[in-house]
Structure 1
């Protein structure tokens, strides 16, 4: 392949891919139909999971040549809620909280600045001409089968890290409250089949975490919605032969809805395919498919358990001496 690579999409997978390519001597063009990077998000807290593999997620990102100067908070303690029960879970760097959006300390903005400093050509508000060959598609989820609704707010409340389970707050998934340095995010994550109940889930989530938040902060906060897409694809190329990375390829965790780690991993695999001539399909199957299939298996098992799913999940976490080790085994 020639030394000029064209990428569709300036999200985290597209930018990460461009950064690695530039560091290996390639000229890179990114075409982004939006006017800026990070506009899908609201500078709200999200998380990069750190339990599905033995390698630390941030160390892994650094190892592929990405600067991690974005705001990143290791989460070592979490309060898990179910019904009227609360269990404090602790572990070394269970996940990393990052902000997504357009603020200067957001993950998206940090990657954008790195790409620009390296000389990546980013064309905003642009769809490439038909004669421009596209090598990598990083346009994010094509549709949503995992949905989220939440509020980003400012607060004087203390730092807090909470997750809650229950059909009344997040059918099939979970709700969370994250507060760090006066910046708070409260949200519910649910299946797309339950979109009509989103307002109810969000209000019930607010009620669930009421003792840790100030209602006036929530009222004056900014509401947001989001979505993710999961699919186990046998073919990781589109009809024109471009590699599909990140959620454009359905790379997402179907049990919990964490996809950022897949964004970086698939970007690196796409670069490897370009540089070595290896099949991107085969690289994804060898490195990511097992986790994806386990994610799908876990989701099906969760759904099969029906009303027993949440109490059983809480019980397993409650009884576990090492919750992060337990989660790691779930993905093996």
Structure 2
């Protein structure tokens, strides 16, 4: 059997490698950093489960991926604009908090262990020329991000907590958040514009969130990163399949892209095994997710005035669980608004491809 070579050992690359190796294919996985998860410093991220009736953990298990990483499901959380705090409750976990980094219980290290157990050869500190790759999973490849995130992680004895802060002074066109899960905490801001203001916004997010929820913190450490999105992902590059953020696949509303990254890696691997057209399968799988994200970003930005009163009112009126699920399915309203939203994004975010 021919050797499959994968560039990038992030979640999408690891998911592809595990799927291929368990099917008996020899796989080499190249990662330019020294370990899986080395891009991160213990960040807490959300593995979203609100976009489907089906739990993301069930989806992973059906794909053959074990959820033996630390994860805590959240069925309740606050939305806060600096004045008003709304508590939203869900009938099942809306998302699972996972850790990113090189610690043993991170999702990155869990996938690494599964890859090694399946027989994948991991080559750390080595870059693979994309022209020599069968799958490209190198993460964001564009020089200019569409969003940046800065914050800090800490140890705490506070109870579990999830807060999204909607306030442009604390996260321009984005949001800030405070997460506490099983003794670990993370406070971050994400900006979709004016990235030079990130430290100013983080200071305001810290003030607003910790005045309202004064959790005790120890061992604070800075974390941060950036993300890329494309409204027209490129699924092939030469003879290689392109997955995850390397393709531009990302949630354009809140950057909940981890589930899509894993799904794309599994899909690429199964396309190779079955001899299917990956580009066609990926377009069919993710078109609604991508176009819906363009509309969601448009609605978010035009509704952000007045401290996001409009989106907060919509979530209260419709119910967060029902509204989120509906707007991650590319519903009829989104289909109607898509041409307008696409035009808006082209003007307001001209560096993006939509």
Hey, what does 1:142 align to over in structure 2? 141
Residue 189 (structure 1) aligned with residue 169 (structure 2): no
Runs (5+) with no aligned partner, structure 1: none
Distance change >3 Å, CA 318–CA 305, structure 1 → 2:
closer
| 1:157–1:213 CA contact under 8 A, matched in 2 | no
Match of 1:9 in 2: 8
**Tell me, what secondary structure is at the counterpart of 1:59?**
helix
Q: Residues 183 and 129 from structure 1, CA distance in 2 versus in 1: closer, same or farther, beyond 3 angstroms?
A: closer
Partners of 1:120 and 1:164 in 2: CA distance: 41
Counterparts of 1:241-280 in structure 2, within 5 Å, are 241-280=239-278
| SS at 1:290 equivalent | helix
CA distance, structure 2, for counterparts of residue 309 and residue 291 of structure 1: 26
CA-to-aligned-CA distance 1:120-176 (integer Å, 9 cap, x gap)? 00111112479x831000000113212111101112222222111111111111111
Q: Does 1:120 align with 2:111?
A: no
Q: Distance in 2 between matches of 1:206 and 1:326?
A: 28
1:309 offset after TM fit, Å?
7.5
TM-score, normalisation: structure 2: 0.88
Superposition CA RMSD, Å: 1.7
Question: CA, structure 1 residues 188+129, in 2 after alignment: closer, same or farther (shift >3 Å)?
Answer: closer
Q: What runs of 5+ residues in structure 2 fail to find an aligned partner?
A: 330-354
Q: Secondary structure at the match of 2:305?
A: helix
Counting only pairs closer than 5 Å after superposition, residues 174-185 of structure 1 correspond to structure 2 as 174-185=175-186
Q: Name the SS of the counterpart of 2:194 in structure 1.
A: helix
How many residues matched? Answer: 325
1:30-76 residue CA offsets vs partner (Å, 9 max, x unmatched): 11111111011111210011122232111101110001110011110
Q: Distance in 2 between matches of 1:234 and 1:47?
A: 23
| 1:223 aligned residue | 222
Match of 1:25 in 2: 24
Q: How far, CA to CA, are the matches of 1:180 and 1:234 in structure 2?
A: 34
Listed as ranges, the matches of 1:1-332 within 5 Å are 2-91=1-90, 92-128=92-128, 133-143=132-142, 144-191=145-192, 193-210=193-210, 211-214=212-215, 217=217, 220-233=219-232, 235-238=234-237, 240-305=238-303, 307=305, 310-320=308-318, 322-332=319-329
Cα distance in 2, alignment partners of residues 234 and 116 from structure 1: 30
| CA shift in 2, pair 1:299/1:66, >3 Å | same
